[in-house]
Structure 1
Amino acid sequence: MIKLFEEEEAVVAATIAKFQLEAVFDKLISEEMDIFNSGMIYNDECSEEEWSGCDEIKISPWVLKFDSLSTETPARARIFIKPPTGTKTTLSFSLDFECTNNQAEYEELISLEILLELGSKQVKVMGDSQLVLRQLSGEYNCNSIALAPYFTVATQLLESFKET
C-alpha cells in the first residue's frame, strides 16, 4: 500500500473530481446534441399574431451628446455619455490641431467607437451642430472636402447601431 501525504491526497482527489466532471459535462453535451439533431429543438419563426398580447420591455438607447469648444486654442471637445442605466459620464479632451467647429463636432462623433466597445446596440445622438446632424440624417449633403472623411467615418459608425 502506498502512503500519500495530505497534499498529494488533495491533488489526487482534485484530479479524480476533474475527470468525473469532464465525463458528466461530455455526457450532457452529447445528450443536448442528440435532442437537437432529433428535431425536438428547432428555430421557429413566430408570426405577429403569436406575439400580440405579449408584454414587452423597451430598453432605452445610450445617449451621446457632443458639444465642442472650438473657439479655444487648442480646440476642446466634450462628449456626454448616458447609458440606459442613467449614470452620465462627461469626457473632455483637447484637439491638438487646428480645426473648424464642424470638424471638432465630427471628432466628437467618432467617439461612438467608445459606445460600441461598451456594448451599446442603440444610440441617440444629440449635438449643437445642426449641419453635422442634418448631414448624418441625410437631410443635407456633405459637400465639404474637409468634412468628407469625418462624415464617412461617422456614417460607418452609426451604421453599426440598430435603428431605434
Structure 2
Amino acid sequence: MLIKITRIIETKKPFQPVGKSYQMFSWIITGEIDGNKSDKFIELKAFKAFPVVEGETAEVEAQNYQGTITYKILSIKHNQVNKEKTPVSTASYIGRNEKYSLEEYNDLFCYAWDMFEPKLMKIGDPYHRYECLQKLISTFIISAVQNGIKAPRTAENSVGQYEQRQQLLNTQQGVA
C-alpha cells in the first residue's frame, strides 16, 4: 500500500515502551492512500526515524489496533530530482570546479612548507618531524583546493626547490 504525503500535521516525540529496547516514531499526516485523497488524518508509525517529507511516497502496511487504523512505514520512496532545476552554487562548490595547474600545486606545497616547517623544528626526531610536516601540508593543500584558495606566486618557489623538498620528504619516509 502506498501513501503520498501531502502535509505533515505533527511529528511526535519517539516513544519507548516500558521494558523494551526499541523506539516507536510517529507522524500525523494528510495524504493520498493508493491514489485516493483522504480528508482524514493518517497516523504513520515506524521503528526507525524515516525522513518523512511532504511530497514523498511511503510504502506502508495497515495495522488495526483496538479499532484504530495506523500505518507502519516499510520504506520511503524519494521523488526523482527535477533535472530542470539548477543547483545552488556556493563558494566552495565553485572552488572545486577550478582547475589547478602543476605550478599552482607546487606553489601551494612551497607555501605550506614555508609556513609549517619552521614551527616543527622543535621536534627532534627527523622522521617524526617530516611525517607531521607531510600530514600538515597534505591537509593544507586539500583544504585550499576545496575552497579555491591559491598560494601567492613568489620567485623562490621554483621547481627545483619543490623537487628538493619532495625528495627530502620521500627519503625520510623510506620511499625514495
* TM-score past 0.5 threshold: no
Q: Which has the higher strand share?
A: 2
TM-score range, shorter chain: under 0.3
Which structure has the bigger radius of gyration? 2
Q: Which has the higher helix share?
A: 1
Structure with the larger RCO, 1 or 2 (CA within 8 Å, 6+ apart): 1
- TM (norm. structure 1) is 0.27
- TM (norm. structure 2) is 0.26
